[in-house]
Each structure stands twice: as structure tokens, then as C-alpha cells.
Structure 1
Amino acid sequence: MTVSLRGGFERRDDCLLFSFTGQLDAYSDKQFRDFVSEQRGSDKRAMLLDLTHIDFIDSSGLGVLVQLAKQCADAKVAFVMVGNARVIQTVKLVRLEKFLHLQPDLSTALAALAKP
């Protein structure tokens, strides 16, 4: 990860939970994508991205989120994400909230993944 982006990862029974802090932008998008891909590997559990501690997201950051959502859809793996007000506003501005399965908070996202 870069100085501007830090990430964490947790394998849960029902999902792979990724948490990030900092900035998801043109300077960190490759490291973000590589980190998620490396940790995920061939795991078929649902993917949950917690972006509630992201300070800034730009079009490059949105692009990598779209790539991850597409990869999950192609692999028939559930994908959901949560964000803070800034992330939510940016995602909604480009009308990607449904495609990225944006949830209002972590507990709602976990509940959405638990549904069959």
C-alpha cells in the first residue's frame, strides 16, 4: 500500500472483508487492486469493501471499484461496499450505487450478504 492508502483484510465465514483508510486515487489505485486481488486469490466468498475511512476518491478509484465489481459478477461472487458521506456522494454522483451494491453501513452490508 502507498503512504496515502492503508488497507486491512479479514477472512470471515461468510465473506472477505477489506477495510481501507486514506485516499483511493490515481496514485493508489494499482496498489489497491493488487492488494485485493492478492488477498482474494481464488476464494469464492463474498467480497465486502469497507471504505468508511476513505478521505478522498477520484475517477481512478471509482474505476478500480467497477473492475472489482465486474470480476466478482463474472465469478458469480457477491460484492458489496460501504462508504462514508464523501464516498457515497461520489458514487451516487456517477450513478454507480446499484452496480457497486452500495450499502448504508457495515451491519446492513453483512446482513445483505447473509441473505440467500
Structure 2
Amino acid sequence: MDMSSRTQGELQIVTINAQRIDAAVAIQFKDGMRAETEGPARRVILDLSQVDFIDSSGLGAIVAAMKQLGPGRKLDLAGLTTTVESVFRLTRMDTVFALFPTLDAALMAQAS
């Protein structure tokens, strides 16, 4: 799973550089997220702007990534395409994660 990250103080941005998070890459995604988020950042923003498909395995992998952050750390999602956002809303996962239309919107929420 191709992902990259950068840290700004207590904020970390993880960008997924792939079009799909599905059963074929769910384990790689979880392992990659574990490696990328080992640092102390209290808030992690997952930039999904390049992802245009997610299935239940991908959804489960994102939930697992949130849980592995542990207490006191937060995972927010940014840049969801219409298709990906609809999966989160249909499964009521929009009540678990803060969803932001763009990375900039997520960053502005941090500032306020």
C-alpha cells in the first residue's frame, strides 16, 4: 500500500496514494498505518482524496487503524470522494469519524 506522511507538531497527515482500499490491500494498509503512526502525534488526518473505492475490508482496516492509535489520539478523515463518503454514511461510520471534505478543511478545524 502506497502511503506517505508528514508531521506538523502534534498533527500528522497520512496520505493514501492509491485508488482502492479493499480486501486485497487491507492488511498492507493496517501494517502501513501502524508503521506511519508510531510517533506521538495526538491527531492523525487520513487524506483519502486519491481513494475512489472502499469495501467493508477497507472500512474495517481504517477502524483498526483508529483503534491502534490508542487512547488520547484521534483519527480524522479528509478528502473523501462522493463514493467513499457514501460508504461511511451508509454504515454510520460518520458517527465514529470526523469527515472533512478536503484536507484544508480538516487543517482549519485543527486551528479553531
**TM-score range for the pair, normalised by the shorter chain length:** 0.7 to 0.9
Q: CA deviation at 1:114?
A: 2.8
Q: Give the whole-Å Cα distance in 1 for the aligned partners of 2:95 and 2:107.
A: 16
TM-score (normalised: structure 2): 0.87
Please identify which structure carries the higher strand content.
Answer: 1
Partner of 2:56: 59
Q: Give the whole-Å Cα distance in 1 for the aligned partners of 2:35 and 2:95.
A: 26
4+ long deviations beyond 4 Å: none
2:84 maps to a residue whose letter is: V
Within a 5 Å distance, the mapping from 1:77-92 to structure 2 comes to 77-82=73-78, 83-92=80-89
Distance change >3 Å, CA 12–CA 102, structure 1 → 2: same
Distance change >3 Å, CA 84–CA 53, structure 1 → 2: same
Structure 1: state its 5+ residue gaps. Answer: none
1:69-91: CA deviations, max 9, x gaps?
2334x321122101111110111
Instruction: Figure out how many residues of one structure are paired with residues of the other and give that number.
Output: 110
Indicate the percent of aligned positions where both proteins have the same amino acid.
29
1:29 maps to a residue whose letter is: A
Partner of 2:15: 19
TM-score (normalised: structure 1): 0.84
Q: CA deviation at 1:47?
A: 0.4
Give the aligned CA root-mean-square deviation in angstroms: 1.6
Q: Give the whole-Å Cα distance in 2 for the aligned partners of 1:93 and 1:61.
A: 14
Structure 2: state its 5+ residue gaps. Answer: none
Answer yes or no: is the 8 Å Cα contact 1:22–1:53 preserved in 2.
yes
Partner of 1:76: 72
Answer yes or no: is the 8 Å Cα contact 1:14–1:113 preserved in 2.
no
Partner of 2:110: 113
Q: Give the whole-Å Cα distance in 2 for the aligned partners of 1:112 and 1:79.
A: 13
